[in-house]
Amino acid sequence: MHISEGVLSGPVLLTGGVLAAAGTAVGLKQLDYDHIARAGLLAAAFFVASLIHVPIGPSSIHLILNGIVGLLLGWGAFPAIVVALLLQGILFQYGGLTTLGVNTLIMAVPAVICYYLFAPLVHRRRKIALAAAFGCGLVSILLGAVVAGAALMFTEENFLEVTVLIISAHIPVMVIEGVITSFCVAFLIKVQPELLPGYDRRPDPAPVERDSDES
């Protein structure tokens, strides 16, 4: 899903950088202190998952996990993803620094969209929650491929065939990401549901004390 250096035009790179900076600023504002450790853990998972990739033209195919990142962080997905992409670009020359903004949009925008689409469903009945999690993983990859294709198309119309190839090549990844996200949500529902968005943190009502009988 990463777009390599030297492919995109200057206006596309500039627009991507400005929008990614704005999204990161919003994400940092909404990322409270209690969620920093969670953001770091998810950024590390994203970093590792997307290192194993297969090049396809100016882009690549690999796991991303942006669906579960978006589901757990919301707008906080922006700073988590931008840090992981920056480290990948510096340490492994993967993606690149000039394309950092565009690559951030490719993966963070779908994460935020999926948060709003699927977060209200993860505390419903189990079947609904798992279906929503699968949809979250699948749609996040689909939208990411569409955004990557749009960036290429705005650079040069001849990239239409490459765009179709990128989207088609990611179909298996969409299914795999959906399954992984479903497993993650199922695990969290079982062991720590408060990590999922929309968890009802209202305390249980206090037990009613009964007056003891006077002797």
Write the pLDDT tens digit of every residue in 71-98: 999 999 999 999 999 998 888 777 778 8
Computed over every residue of the chain, the mean pLDDT equals 84
Evaluate if residue 55 carries a pLDDT over 70.
no
Evaluate if residue 212 carries a pLDDT over 50.
no
Whether 39 is in a domain gets the answer: yes
> With the CA atoms of 34, 183, 138 and 103 taken in that order, what torsion angle do they form, in degrees rounded to the nearest 10?
40
* Total tally of structural domains belonging to the chain: 1
* 124: CATH: 1.10.1760.20
Domain that holds residue 61: 10-195
Whether 4 is in a domain gets the answer: no
DSSP summary character for residue 213: P
C-alpha 181/C-alpha 169 separation (Å) is: 20
CA 166 to chain centre: 18
> Which three-class secondary structure string do you get for 5-53?
CCCCCHHHHHHHHHHHHHHHHHHHHHCCHHHHHHHHHHHHHHHHHCCCE
Is residue 128 within 8 A of residue 34, CB to CB? The reply is no
